Structure 1
Amino acid sequence: MSLFDREMVASFRGDRLHLILFPTEQCNFRCAYCYEDFAIGRMRSEVVEGVKNLIDRRRGDLTHLQISWFGGEPMLARSVVEEVASHVIEVQRRTPGLGYDSDMTTNGYLLDHAAAERLAGLGIRRFQVSLDGPAQHHDHTRVRADGQGTFDRIWRNLSSIREGSADVRVLLRVHLTPGNLAVMPAFLTRLRDAFLDDPRFRVFLKRVVRLGGANDASMEVLDAEDERIAALEEIVRAVGPGESLFEPEEVCYAARANSLMVRADGRLGKCTVGLSEPANTVGRLLPDGSLEVDNPKFRQWLRGWELRDSELTACPYEAFTRQGPKLLQLTERPGSQAVAGVLAGDARD
């Protein structure tokens, strides 16, 4: 079986479920390249109950549950995170053979060692925190909602985790732009020396790209093939034999049938980037934990598997942002109406 076919089989496994949860869509930052509008607030109580009931409904069918916390800034609704995570821990205790892991994408402003240790106790042990370079660059693009800088506090929080013993893994996502590239060798050396001798920390070098934010028109971006990026990768790798440089998966979560996003208002989606794309609302989570799924919309996110197109399985959102043959409608196949059954056996069309 080819690697493509193995990934396809994994993406349609009914005994695995990946939920991306938005405990709030508000944020305490206003990053220059952000694409979110912060129109939705804290996750409604009926949605929280729906998430817990969905997990209860599915627990007997699952061998593995993964929960990813996103936002907005998820730490602004930490009580929602802890309520759901505590429920999952109890469900796992009562369900022999159920594996569980959880991660969080956070700006790091509220994630100190004490918070990381508490969340680790609830199974949330992987965190992704973004940095835009040293303070003079970071504080220009990753600012608080009141315009104040954020670098110093994030660095202190990361250092407190480094000095503590919390059982966590921290992915330091370093954004690359034409404006900060010149200072990156020195910054990555500092980052490497401060954190990368600890195997709990890794670095992800990520180009800032245009994702539909208000500043897209004026934003300069690096070319994906810029040879200077490879030189920066070598700085990170120079720490030793460990896997200090993170390489993203070749298949996007949005292309996987067993991955689903639950927004704070209960809408279901596939992609955490295309939040305003109408095709990215594929249904709704009901308070009893059942799903109303628009199967034709849902199947559009899986078209890469049918077309055997690795570009679309790497980023299915591209199908909605460009013109050309990738936008051809999928042909109907036997059983295609039941694709939502991968998510829940009682999903409603």
Structure 2
Amino acid sequence: MKNPVLLLIIFTISGWIPAGFGQNQEIMTVKGPIPANQMGRSLIHEHLLVDFIGADKITATRWDRSAVVEKVRPFVAALPAMKIQTLVSCTPAYLGRDPELLRQLSEQTGIQILTNTGYYGAVDNAFLPAHAFSSSAETLAGIWTDEWKNGIGQTGIKPGFIKIGVNSGSLSKLHQKLIHAAGLTHKQTGLTIASHTGPFLPAKQQVALLKANGVHPSAFIWVHAQNESNMENYSTLAAEGAWISLDGVQPSNLQEYLEKLRYLREQGWLEQVLISHDAGWYRPGEEDGGHFRDFSTISTQFIPLLLKNGFTEEDINQLLVKNPANAFSVRKRIYTGN
């Protein structure tokens, strides 16, 4: 068994204290902070509204918030029956982020909801505001940090994590700037960085950039890691401390996700794995908000499949309770090693 005193000394020297050693860890929801141990069973990558109209055209007038609440509320209200207490909304700014919508849904359903700060550069920058191209990393970090300190716009609602996105190839200069800005924001706020990534190459490059800027990889969530075909690469970044997020669970791919989780458990990385659906969402411009994919597959199909294939209730608790609380706890994770 690992010596906890020795580990504490090592982590203290490196400047990084994991959640298990910390006191009074908090999660920031749209209704304010909660103790991390009250996060409960969580879905860490979902969407309630997304608008793909583009950063140059998007405006909150494109949707009627009351109509969105009416459409979306039943899907959120169904979560407690599945023992889900928290939903992490990964819709970023300029793609339909609406903190007041999330707060209304949280108040009406009792589900704890997180929103985010940051900018999304994936899909060839179609959802980046014009100023993101010319602003420095320091300027972008200032904007995101201000949302943490003062709330998003005039809402008073604070983000619970940083959401960025990059393309699937080698990082461009612009996307290097986004990860640099995210690292600077993390060092100011303690917010975790969730980066829409996909393949291993840009994930590895982002981790290297964060380390070079003094941010420990445990502050980084490799979003859409399920898109990486070589599972050995999961071990490479998990060994660095990064979070491996398999966040596209749906009925058609349960066997594939089962095999990925088997590998990660066999390799000893289950404590660094996150799972979710990447489901939803209300679509402005479509009749009645379009098709909404619900958030039930993990609870009703995937957990039973895991339990039938050698996973334990303790494993389920690790994936859906302990890991989300650890990943999204607000704390600065500083890297000082080589």
Q: Check whether TM > 0.5.
A: no
Q: How would you bin the TM-score normalised by the shorter chain? A: 0.3 to 0.5
- Structure number having the greater helix percentage: 2
Scaled by the length of structure 2, the TM-score of the pair is: 0.41
Scaled by the length of structure 1, the TM-score of the pair is: 0.40
